[in-house]
């Protein structure tokens, strides 16, 4: 599916932010592990969380969706079981890495596969700690397909994260939880803490302390988890596309309700505000242990910014759309320490650079980032042109938003991947004044 932009987009109105992808996947996994009746509201019915739901159902979770799109977990009379059929996690890195933790901790037998993008992504980052914990795990040179066979993880485990990754942290926590062992994780740079918050919210004995500037996360061996309901807050990573759309156009105001504001995820808001964005944060509240708020975003004069170091893991998924904001800001934006972007659903630094080159946006590449030479004007294109999404949802949506500032329509190719994280993107952006044509 290619999508073509229109040149008269004028963003305003009020929209509800779609459910958070990271949280939706975690609540399925922890909810199914808890094995009790539970209702999940606000779940993101995107392809990634649905892959995780299918994966859990393949090992016996019996998760259902009702006619109001609520997710229903029901108490089963048996625990999880092995899977003879391959478990396909599609495009979802979170689904795969977290399921590997759960299934290893349970000592199950299962084989995991995924789509072309997931099959090319590095998995040693979870395979190595899981193997150290005692899992029997075989991969194809650190990548999919990956098989695990029955094992017993029974020693307490301590691990210092060599890369800033919430998926690795969560994989180890889930393996420890499922195996019933004590786990300690040392996290030199803060990454999203949804797993820790959710475990705490469900009654687990988990504490995070600080030592020499690093987080030390400790989960004890005996945990009685309990919850009857969970409400997933909106995904700030999805809201970021809407925020930038309003900021770079003549928007009189766009209200985005129910946006997750977890401090380990809200870096994009800080960055945009530092760039001069006019964003009002209203109705701050807590929903199932996660902060959330409503945002009002108005047209703003943006300026360039320097981004490196500890903020990077906090904004890792938003860097492509921040780069688009930077392209229409006054002055230079410098992004460093972001080499992890090269192993996401696509090589996002390369994909952004190629799209920028097609649009004539001046930039310079580094192995771990780029310098973007911004200018607030509309880009004058001599003719319509095509941009490659690289089958990556965040690249596709970033360039569709860039289309708001192009003098001619642009076509972003292969946009199906948007359904992994933002299934109603086309309808929602149309409801606030920007038509995309299939
Ligand atoms: C995620 C963690 C991040 C992020 C991804 C979702 C999660 O990945 O990029 O989209 O749900 O834990 P890493 O753990 O690889 O940094």
User: In the chain, where are the structural domains located?
Assistant: 3-19+233-431, 21-231
CATH of the domain spanning 21-231, picked from 3.40.50.620, 1.10.3720.10, 3.90.380.10, 3.65.10.10? 3.65.10.10
Identify whether the C-beta of residue 168 lies closer than 8 Å to the C-beta of residue 130: no
Q: Is the CB of 319 under 6 A from ligand 1?
A: no
Q: Is the CB of 125 under 6 A from ligand 1?
A: no
Q: Is the CB of 167 under 6 A from ligand 1?
A: yes
CATH 3.20.20.80 fits 3-19+233-431, yes or no: no
Question: Token pair of 216, please?
Answer: 């030390």
Q: Would the CATH topology of 3-19+233-431 be identical to that of 21-231?
A: yes
Torsion of CA 52, 179, 158, 204, to 10 degrees: 80
Which has the closest alpha carbon to 244: 388, 390, 429, 392?
A: 429
**Ligand 1 atom 11, closest CA:** 22
Q: Is the CB of 316 under 6 A from ligand 1?
A: yes
Tens-digit pLDDT profile for residues 160-210: 999 999 999 999 999 999 999 999 999 999 999 999 999 999 999 999 999
**Predicted local confidence at residue 74, as pLDDT:** 96
Q: Can you tell me whether residue 431 is helix, strand or coil? A: helix
Identify whether the C-beta of residue 413 lies closer than 8 Å to the C-beta of residue 380: no
pLDDT lower than 70: segments of the chain = none
Identify whether the C-beta of residue 133 lies closer than 8 Å to the C-beta of residue 152: no
**Predicted local confidence at residue 8, as pLDDT:** 87
Q: Can you tell me whether residue 363 is helix, strand or coil? A: strand
Q: Using CB atoms within 10 A of its CB, is residue 394 exposed (0-12), middle (13-18) or buried (19+)?
A: buried
Packing angle between helix 93-106 and helix 21-34, nearest 10 degrees? 20
Our answer to whether residue 317 is catalytic in this structure is yes
- The C-alpha atoms of residue 237 and residue 422 are separated, in whole angstroms, by 10
| Radius of gyration of the chain, Cα coordinates, nearest whole angstrom | 21
Please give the model's pTM, rounded to 2 decimal places: 0.98
- From the alpha carbon of 169, which atom of ligand 1 is closest? 14
Mutation probe of ligand 1 site: the residue of 22, 94, 194, 344 with most atoms within 8 A of C-beta: 94
CA-based torsion, 187, 190, 195, 199: positive or negative: positive
Given the residues 317, 337, 347, 391, the one annotated as active site: 317
Identify whether the C-beta of residue 286 lies closer than 8 Å to the C-beta of residue 197: no
- The C-alpha atoms of residue 264 and residue 257 are separated, in whole angstroms, by 19
Q: Using CB atoms within 10 A of its CB, is residue 229 exposed (0-12), middle (13-18) or buried (19+)?
A: exposed
**Predicted local confidence at residue 37, as pLDDT:** 97
- The C-alpha atoms of residue 342 and residue 133 are separated, in whole angstroms, by 28
Tens-digit pLDDT profile for residues 41-78: 999 999 999 999 999 999 999 999 999 999 999 999 98
């Amino acid at each position: 599916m290619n999508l073509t932009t229109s040149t008269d987009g004028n963003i305003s109105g009020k929209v509800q932010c779609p459910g958070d992808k990271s949280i939706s996947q975690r609540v399925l996994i922890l909810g199914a592990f808890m094995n009790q009746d539970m209702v999940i509201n606000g779940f993101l019915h995107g392809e990634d969380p649905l892959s995780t739901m299918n994966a859990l159902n393949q090992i016996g979770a019996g998760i259902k969706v009702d006619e109001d799109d609520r997710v229903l977990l029901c108490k089963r009379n048996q625990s999880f079981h092995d899977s003879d059929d391959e478990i396909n996690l599609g495009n979802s890195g979170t689904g795969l890495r977290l399921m590997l933790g759960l299934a290893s901790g349970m000592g199950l037998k299962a084989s995991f596969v995924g789509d072309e993008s997931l099959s090319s992504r590095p998995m040693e980052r979870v395979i190595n700690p899981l193997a150290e914990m005692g899992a029997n795990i075989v991969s194809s040179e650190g990548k999919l397909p990956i098989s695990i066979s029955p094992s017993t993880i029974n020693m307490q485990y301590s691990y210092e994260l060599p890369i800033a990754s919430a998926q690795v942290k969560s994989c180890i926590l889930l393996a420890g939880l499922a195996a019933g062992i004590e786990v300690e994780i040392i996290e030199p740079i803060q990454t999203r803490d949804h797993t820790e918050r959710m475990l705490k919210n469900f009654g687990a004995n988990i504490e995070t302390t600080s030592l020499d500037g690093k987080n030390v996360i400790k989960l004890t061996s005996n945990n009685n988890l309990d919850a009857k309901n969970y409400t997933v807050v909106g995904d700030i990573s999805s809201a970021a596309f809407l925020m930038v759309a309003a900021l770079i156009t003549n928007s009189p105001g766009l209200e985005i309700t129910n946006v997750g504001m977890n401090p380990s995820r809200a870096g994009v808001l800080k960055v945009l505000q530092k760039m001069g964005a006019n964003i009002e944060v209203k109705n701050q509240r807590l929903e199932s242990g996660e902060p959330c708020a409503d945002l009002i975003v108005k047209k703003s004069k943006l300026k360039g910014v320097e981004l490196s170091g500890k903020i990077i893991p906090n904004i890792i998924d938003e860097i492509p759309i921040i780069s688009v904001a930077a392209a229409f800001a006054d002055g230079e934006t410098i992004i460093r320490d972001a080499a992890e972007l090269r192993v996401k659903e696509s090589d996002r630094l390369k994909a952004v650079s190629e799209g920028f080159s097609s649009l004539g946006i001046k930039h310079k590449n580094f192995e771990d980032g780029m310098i973007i030479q911004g200018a607030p004007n509309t880009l004058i294109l001599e003719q319509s042109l095509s941009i490659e999404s690289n089958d990556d949802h965040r690249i596709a949506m970033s360039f569709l938003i860039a289309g708001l500032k192009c003098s001619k329509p642009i076509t972003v190719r292969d946009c199906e991947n948007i359904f992994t994280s933002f299934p109603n993107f086309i309808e929602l952006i149309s409801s606030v004044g920007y038509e995309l044509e299939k």
